[in-house]
Each structure stands twice: as structure tokens, then as C-alpha cells.
Amino acid sequence: MSRVITFVTGNKNKLREVKAILEKSGDTAWTLESRELDVPEVQGNTQQVALAKCRAAAKQLNGPCLTEDTALCFQALQGLPGPYIKDFLQKLGLDGLNTLLAGFDDKRAEAVCTFAYCEGPESEPIVFEGRTPGRIVPPRGPTHFGWDPVFEVEGRGKTFAEMDGAEKNEVSHRYKALAKVQAYLQST
């Protein structure tokens, strides 16, 4: 019988990507269900944010859970907006993200996904991180998923938004982090 793990998210696009990645792997040792919870968003680096979110979720659920946090780190801005990308995007929009880098020649960025897994409220969460290098470009492609239209993956010549789901899931920061989660869960 497979373990049931609650993935804490209210983001339908994120949930769709995670399920697509997991289904492709054929892993049946555990089953993912999703639930939206009100967990605090602490200020800190990606790992601090992920750990705090996962601890709070495990306490509320009183069982195993998986949380995810995404960051977009601009090299020219020493890693900003980082884990605050959602707020930056809401306030500035896609064009505003480009404007942040207008005075810089360096448009390099890194997409970072941090999953945290916790067995329950008495356990310490474990962090898994995936990174995808790229650069910030003027928006290209559909605008239905966050900052995907402005992040061009290194060596691909396409933004995440210009890729179909299968192509994105082969190179994304989320895929890389989730592969580490799967490896851990298969070993326990």
C-alpha cells in the first residue's frame, strides 16, 4: 500500500506540473494529494522559507507533507528578488521585472525550487533544491504561469512559457528538486 503525502499548495499550475512529473516517473510507493493551507510566509532565504512553511504545514496536518517554494534570483541584484518573486511580480508585472535589470548588462538569473518534506509535527523537515540557469528576457509566450515568459533557459533559446509542458518538465528547477524528493522517498 502506498503512503499518502499531502502537497500543500493552492496553485493549480504548480500542482499540475508536480503531478505530471510524478506520473511520468511511474513511482507508486506514495500517493500525492493536495490541500491548500494558510501557512505563514516567513522572511528569509529559500531554505528558511521552505523549512518554516513545512513545519507549520506538518503541525496543521498532523502527518506527512510536502511544501514547495520558488525563487527567481537575478545575478546583477545579488539574488533578488529570490523567494520574494511572487510579490515582485504582483507589484511590477513582467515588464517591471525587465526594468529592474535595465541598468545592468548582466541579465543572468537562476530559477530555484525548494521542496521540503516532513513526516509529521515531531519530525524535522528535509529540504530538496533544484536550480535551472537562464536569463531574463522581454516577455515571450503565454502569460498564464507567473514569470515563465521572462525566464529563458540557458542553452534552449526558449522561455519556460514557450516550451510545452513535457519540455519544461525535463529542464525545470521544479523537476530537478522533485527528482531528489522521489529518490529520498524511494529510499525510506
> Annotated binding residue at 95?
no
- Give, as one character, the DSSP assignment of residue 124: P
Domain span holding position 106: 3-187
Pairing verdict, β 65-74 and 30-35: unpaired
Say how far apart CA 75 and CA 95 lie, in whole Å. 18
φ, ψ for residue 174, nearest 5 deg:
-65, -45
CATH number at residue 161: 3.90.950.10
For 50-109, what is each residue's pLDDT tens digit? 999 999 999 999 999 999 999 999 999 999 999 999 999 999 999 999 999 999 999 999
Residue 148 is labelled as binding a ligand: yes
10 is in an annotated binding site: yes
Give the separation between CA 71 and CA 83, rounded to whole angstroms: 4
Q: Is 12 annotated to bind ligand?
A: yes
11 annotated ligand-binding residue: yes
The reply, when asked if residue 70 is annotated as ligand binding, is yes
| Residue written as grid cell 498564464 | 144
9 carries a ligand binding annotation: yes
Structure confidence at residue 34 as a pLDDT band (50, 70, 90):
confident
Q: How many domains does the chain have?
A: 1
Q: Is 67 labelled a binding residue?
A: no
pLDDT tens track for 113-132: 999 999 999 999 999 999 99
Q: Is 105 annotated as a binding residue?
A: no
pTM for the structure as a whole: 0.90
Tell me: is residue 14 an annotated ligand-binding position. Answer: yes
**pLDDT of 108:** 98
Q: How far apart are CA 53 and CA 188, in angstroms?
A: 22
The average pLDDT across 14-40 equals 78
